[in-house]
Amino acid sequence: MTKALIIILAPLLASVIAGLFGHRIGRAGTHWVTIIGVAISFLVSLLVYIDILWEDAPVFNANLYTWLMTGGISLHIGFLIDELTATMMVVVTFVSLMVHIYTIGYMHEDPGYQRFFSYISLFTFSMLMLVMANNFLQLFFGWEAVGLVSYLLIGFWYTRESAIFANLKAFLINRVGDFGFLLSIAAVLMYFDTLDYAEVFHQAPELAGTTITIWGDAQWQLLTVICILLFIGAMGKSAQAPLHVWLPDSMEGPTPISALIHAATMVTAGIFMVARMSPLFELSETALSFVMLTGAFTAFFMGLLGLVQNDIKRVIAYSTLSQLGYMTVALGVSAYAAGIFHLATHAFFKALLFLAAGSVIIGMHHEQDMRKMGGLWKIMPITWITCLIGSLALIGFPGFSGFFSKDMIIEAVHHSERYGAHVAYWAVLSGVFVTALYSFRLIFMVFHGQERMDAHTRANLHESPPVVTVPLILLAIPSVTAGALFIEPMLFGDYFGNSIVVHPENNVLGSLGEHFHGWLAMVEHGVTQLPFMLAMAGVLVAWLGYVAFPEAPRNLATMFKPIYWLLTRKYGFDEIYQAVFAGGARMIGRLLSGLGDRLLIDGMLVNGSARIVGLASMMIRQVQSGYLYHYAFAMILGLLALLGIFVHGL
């Protein structure tokens, strides 16, 4: 418990100090406090990791305090540290540490320096709360807390209209996902009477046959409903189509957070969550098919969008969407371990790519348009080499980390018998070509070919300082090696223990393992396979289009104008959402406010009844005329009426 608390509290404390006393302790004070906080967290996480994975320490599962007891249910704050958690903790704290160091260089001219450090430390805390949770409540807390920090950081430069538009959009779209997530938590509580992971997973098989009705008489499998609702939450956070639109816009935030939050850690929370919930998902074929197809759709179609972007960060953002799609596909075919494996390798190489892009952006004086770059390899050699390493890992070049993780996903989909798996297979396979094409389009446009920047920028170009390049180098190391080192234990060994549950009939990784003869053999085998050919074809086409024949892409764009138009419009998701949801909600609001509240309720009922009272009293006032004969006449009429009733009544 002490270790867990140190891991959680060190970044929180650092964040609070940086946030409240940032101006008193100064810039250097702030970055030292936060870096030490995260470094402590990383080192202790590493100790825990070694304990759990190497020393075979028992799984840690304990409650810290009772958050709430009501209606016979107690909700706790507590930690579950097993193989899956420990892996995530190391990945999160390592990338976070690198980003903290890098930030010293990237943000050193920014007036919001202290605020930035406070936010990213707070993020580290939130993300750790998310992965270390032992119950749904705390998971939801971490889930929303990372969303909050993401909101704050996308809008970090709050005077930019585009940034504050993007952060609101990100928060609201995530809330759509959370809407599903919250309902699934409600369903879990209703049927399991607890929100504790261990107990829920324990009871899950007994509830496998339970059905519920939602609409009419149709019977739904309870677990299918729960899992699909949970996955809607994951779709928001992990930016799966159609809830993906916030991620490209989130690039309005400073580059270090694009690396930390919108590539390496937060967006993978959805992947982590599904893996964590594997005991539930395994019980619903339907939900898994839904997961797989969503992932496949995202992997292929979002990759295509990366081809037409000219902003260096947006290219990488679409690449992130596509890679998240790959992870989701892996989850959908029950290859959870492969999904987490790709999550980890992707965290390293994608953080690397973003930070390298950031290094280029600093060099170019905050220019992000790739059409104004070119030939940078001579001037920024470290950035160039590390970026190349990241790209090779991304396209799955044999030997690099991404090769192992992505190849295994493709193989797993190939061998899966899940409904719709063949469609998903073609999507992920063609995705390989697309990935290679946009990745090397970036490399060639930025680092090779003609220098297209203006003379002033050219004169001031130089390699970034060591606080920037050292994290690049440190991230490049796992980007190359993590795959070869971990593929065997992680995918085919007993790495995850009981933290991930796969039913024997779904165990594609198990059957793949029978043909696995070490990473070297896989590399040798890999160069003869289809994915490698496709990747090489992608690189070749990128070379042809952006180095050999720079005119070709433009001609192609004119030839296939409709497709190009559709891609630059990002399939129109943004416009449709803006019109239908944002516009629609405002229209409904105006209608209800104007017609409902002001006209019907206030106009007719409230002020209307006041008017009726007024009118009525005006009429009655006429009766009180003051003339005696009026009153006498009224009395006579009354008497006559009474008499009539009296006579007729009898």
Partner 1 sequence: MAYDFPILSLIIWLPILGGAALLFIGDCIGAQNTKCYALVLSLLAFLLSIPLYLEFDTTTAAMQFVEKVPWITAFDINYHLGIDGIALPLILLTTFTTILVVLAAWESITDRVPQYLGAFLILDGLMVAVFCALDGILFYVFWEAQLIPMFLIIGIWGGPNRVYATIKFFLYTFLGSVFMLVAFLYLYHQAGTFDVATLHHLPLSITAQTWIFIAFFLAFAVKIPMWPVHTWLPDAHVEAPTGGSVILAAIMLKMGGYGFLRYSLPITPDASQAWAGVLIILSLIAIVYIGFVALVQRDMKKLIAYSSISHMGFATLGMFVIFQIIHRTGAAEGAIMAMEGSMMQMISHGFISGALFLCVGVLYDRMHSREISAYGGVVNTMPVFAAFMMLFAMANAGLPGTSGFVGEFTVILSSFEASFWIAFFAASTLILGAAYTLWMYKRVIFGEIANDEVAKLQDINARERLILASLAVMVLLLGIWPDPLFTIMHASIENLVQHVTQSKLIP
Nearer to partner 1, 462 or 590 (CB): 590
User: How far apart are CB 322 and partner 1 at their closest, in Å?
Assistant: 27
User: How far apart are CB 639 and partner 1 at their closest, in Å?
Assistant: 34
Q: Is 605 a residue that touches partner 1 (CB under 8 A)?
A: yes
Nearer to partner 1, 552 or 576 (CB): 576
Q: How many CA atoms lie within 13 A of 15 on its CB side?
A: 18
Instruction: List the interface residues with partner 1, window 574-593 (CB under 8 A).
Output: 585-586, 588-590, 592-593
Among 50, 606, 632, 634, binds partner 1 (CB under 8 A): 606
Q: Contact region for partner 1 (CB under 8 A) — 273-281, 467-475, 597-605, 614-622?
A: 597-605
Q: How far apart are CA 384 and CA 472, in angstroms?
A: 10
According to DSSP, the β-strands at 219-221 and 211-213 are antiparallel
- What is the dihedral sign for C-alpha 87, 484, 421, 176? positive
Q: Contact region for partner 1 (CB under 8 A) — 5-13, 164-172, 282-290, 506-514?
A: 164-172
Among 13, 32, 51, 141, binds partner 1 (CB under 8 A): 141
Among 185, 264, 364, 522, binds partner 1 (CB under 8 A): 185
Among 26, 108, 158, 365, binds partner 1 (CB under 8 A): 158
Among 202, 205, 597, 599, binds partner 1 (CB under 8 A): 597
Nearer to partner 1, 174 or 298 (CB): 174
Among 16, 59, 172, 207, binds partner 1 (CB under 8 A): 172
Q: Contact region for partner 1 (CB under 8 A) — 182-190, 294-302, 547-555, 557-565?
A: 182-190
486 within 8 A of 344, measured Cβ to Cβ: yes
- Residues near partner 1 (CB under 8 A), total: 50
Q: Is 176 a residue that touches partner 1 (CB under 8 A)?
A: yes
User: How far apart are CB 157 and partner 1 at their closest, in Å?
Assistant: 10
233 within 8 A of 244, measured Cβ to Cβ: no
Quickly count: other Cβ atoms within 10 Å of residue 624's Cβ: 9
Q: Is 614 a residue that touches partner 1 (CB under 8 A)?
A: no
113 within 8 A of 96, measured Cβ to Cβ: no
Nearer to partner 1, 185 or 472 (CB): 185
- Let me know if 559 is exposed, middle or buried by CB neighbors in 10 A (0-12, 13-18, 19+): exposed
Query: Given the structure tokens 């933290």, which residue do they identify?
Result: 499
Q: What does 356-374 look like in DSSP terms, one character per residue? A: HHHHHHHHTTS--BGGG--
Among 36, 602, 636, 637, binds partner 1 (CB under 8 A): 602
Closest CA to 33 of 16, 51, 53, 8: 16
What stretch of H or E contains 563? helix 561-568
Quickly count: other Cβ atoms within 10 Å of residue 72's Cβ: 6
Q: Is 145 a residue that touches partner 1 (CB under 8 A)?
A: yes
* Interaxial angle between packed helices 401-415 and 519-526, expressed in degrees from 0 to 180 and rounded to the nearest 10: 80
409 within 8 A of 325, measured Cβ to Cβ: no
Q: Is 536 a residue that touches partner 1 (CB under 8 A)?
A: no
- Residue 6: strand, helix, or coil: helix
- Residue 461: strand, helix, or coil: coil
- Residue 238: strand, helix, or coil: coil
User: How far apart are CB 66 and partner 1 at their closest, in Å?
Assistant: 6
User: How far apart are CB 146 and partner 1 at their closest, in Å?
Assistant: 11
Q: How far apart are CA 451 and CA 464, in angstroms?
A: 18
Q: Is 558 a residue that touches partner 1 (CB under 8 A)?
A: no
Nearer to partner 1, 73 or 563 (CB): 73
User: How far apart are CB 1 and partner 1 at their closest, in Å?
Assistant: 18
Q: Is 608 a residue that touches partner 1 (CB under 8 A)?
A: no
Which CA distances in Å does 151 have to 164, 250, 506, 577? Answer: 9, 9, 38, 19
Integer distance in angstroms from the first to the last C-alpha of the chain?
93
Q: Is 148 a residue that touches partner 1 (CB under 8 A)?
A: yes
Among 55, 56, 109, 161, binds partner 1 (CB under 8 A): 161
183 within 8 A of 149, measured Cβ to Cβ: no
Q: Contact region for partner 1 (CB under 8 A) — 493-501, 527-535, 555-563, 598-606?
A: 598-606
Nearer to partner 1, 155 or 398 (CB): 155
Q: How far apart are CA 327 and CA 235, in angstroms?
A: 12
Q: What are the phi and psi torsion angles at 133 (to 5°)?
A: -60, 150
Instruction: List the interface residues with partner 1, window 32-91 (CB under 8 A).
Output: 65-73
Structure-token pair, residue 31: 């970055």
* Mask for 496-525, x = binds partner 1 (CB under 8 A): ------------------------------
Instruction: List the interface residues with partner 1, window 194-213 (CB under 8 A).
Output: 212
Among 1, 28, 36, 186, binds partner 1 (CB under 8 A): 186
User: How far apart are CB 294 and partner 1 at their closest, in Å?
Assistant: 20
Closest CA to 346 of 423, 262, 281, 243: 262
143 within 8 A of 269, measured Cβ to Cβ: yes
Q: Is 612 a residue that touches partner 1 (CB under 8 A)?
A: no
Q: Which bin fits 529, alpha (ψ -120 to 50), beta or left (φ > 0)?
A: beta
Q: How far apart are CA 145 and CA 530, in angstroms?
A: 42
User: How far apart are CB 417 and partner 1 at their closest, in Å?
Assistant: 32
Question: Which residues have CB under 8 Å from 246's CB, separation 6+?
Answer: 166, 169, 170, 173, 174, 239
* Mask for 84-123, x = binds partner 1 (CB under 8 A): ----------------------------------------
Nearer to partner 1, 181 or 496 (CB): 181
Q: State the residues that interact with partner 1 by CB under 8 A.
A: 65-73, 140-141, 144-145, 148, 151-152, 155, 158-159, 161, 164, 168, 171-172, 175-176, 178-179, 182-183, 185-187, 189-190, 212, 214, 585-586, 588-590, 592-593, 596-597, 601-602, 605-606
